Amino acid sequence: MSERWIADRMHRIDASGIRKVFDLAASMQRPINLSIGQPHYDTPQPVKDALCKAVQEGRNAYSQTQGIAPLLKVLQADVDSRYNHADRQVFVTSGTSGGLVLALFTLLNPGDEVIVFDPWFVMYRHLTTLAGGTVVPVSTYPDFRIRINDVRRAITPRTRLIIFNSPANPTGIVATAEETQAIAELAAEHDIALISDEIYRSFVYDREFTSPATWNDRTIVIDGFSKSHSMTGLRLGFMHGPKYLIQQMLKLQQFTFVCAPHPVQWAGLTAWEMDLEGNRADYRRKRDLLADGVRGHYEILGGEGAFYLFLKTPWGTGSEFVAEAIRNNLLIIPGGVFSSRDSHFRVSFAAADEVIREGAEVLCRLAEQGGPKS
């Protein structure tokens, strides 16, 4: 096989950061795994039962591209009740990643600029590259807060899109209502598309969740069942936005994903009716367990939502610190995977309490160690 066969765009995608972590971890016998980017509990039994029932009833062919009518009905009713926008339409996607692909390829022309907030969810940069766009990072260091004047200065005539993520991966930051409103109004002022990635909105611990769609009726919202219902492998998401944009995304979905997995959509109906408060409360408790376990050795910022802390290394780079952590049987992710800086690491509290305690002990020991052991 010739290297000439590989498209140039693929060489602009670097997965080496994550790959190096898991290459190092390959020899670990019983890792203390605080790297997980998904809930640690299993898919709820009623959802699994509904999925099996749908399969057995023969709901295995293609569905309509936009999704099955019963699921669309409940999703649209919820969206209408929250926003009351005359022209906001919902459709079902193959996970939130599928929704992000559709949005970027619908909105971007080659050379268009996309503002993302550093640190960012890793997929934003790579999918923007595939769509022909250019990422323009706006730093939120040192406290991971969005400063609207920094965003304003990043806007150029090539700016087509802002990607907003709250609660955020990897920092766990939840934007305030004031920050969210400012972003929404700035996008509207400059006629810039705004994507709001709200996949973690079920996990907010210290303040009310707010969506920029509250202040900007052209906001494109990406959401789904993956995190809230621990359905990451079942690939069920949804999007809503202005009807004229959604129609273009549906056209693209028809010729790419075709539809979200049909039986999973029926399971989504059951998932939609479930009470998630217990899961949210449990993850808030786990957040406190981890934060209290490392307090005094690390500055705690973020962790207001999702299930991550993004901690500054007490010594060395993020990559050096993570390599030493893995040598101590602790699996975490270097911050350089999510950022232009290599100064932090991401630790997840989506784990059993005992694993969180073990991980906190290792992190404290590494901080006191002061550097890698020779």
Q: Could you read off the pLDDT of 24-57 as tens digits, one per residue? A: 666 777 899 999 889 999 999 999 999 999 999 9
- Give percent helix, percent strand, percent coil of the chain, each to the nearest 5: 45, 15, 40
For range 80-99, the mean pLDDT = 96
Query: What is the rounded CA–CA span in Å between residue 86 and residue 105?
Result: 25
Rounded mean pLDDT, 95-114: 97
pLDDT-based confidence at 230, cuts 50/70/90? very high
Do the two domains 3-43+276-369 and 45-272 of this chain adopt the same fold? no
Pairing of strands 113-118, 134-139: parallel
188-219 pLDDT, tens digit per residue, is 999 999 999 999 999 999 989 999 999 999 99
Question: Letter for the amino acid at 44?
Answer: P
Q: State in words which class domain 3-43+276-369 has.
A: alpha beta
At 4 the pLDDT is 80
Residue type present at position 86: A
Residue 362 has pLDDT above 90, yes or no: yes
Q: List CB contacts of 207: < 8 A, sequence separation 6 or more.
A: 174, 176, 304
pLDDT tens figures, 279-299: 999 999 999 999 999 999 999
- Whether residue 1 has pLDDT greater than 90: no
- State the average pLDDT over residues 258-273: 97
Mean pLDDT of the chain: 94
Q: What percent of the chain has pLDDT over 90?
A: 89
Which one, of 169, 174, 218, 159, lies nearest residue 194 by Cα? 218
Which tokens belong to 149? Answer: 């004047």
Q: Where are the domains of the chain?
A: 3-43+276-369, 45-272
Among 3.50.50.60, 2.60.120.10, 3.40.640.10, 3.40.228.10, name the CATH number for the domain at 45-272. 3.40.640.10
What 3-state DSSP class applies to 37? coil
Which pTM does this prediction carry? 0.95
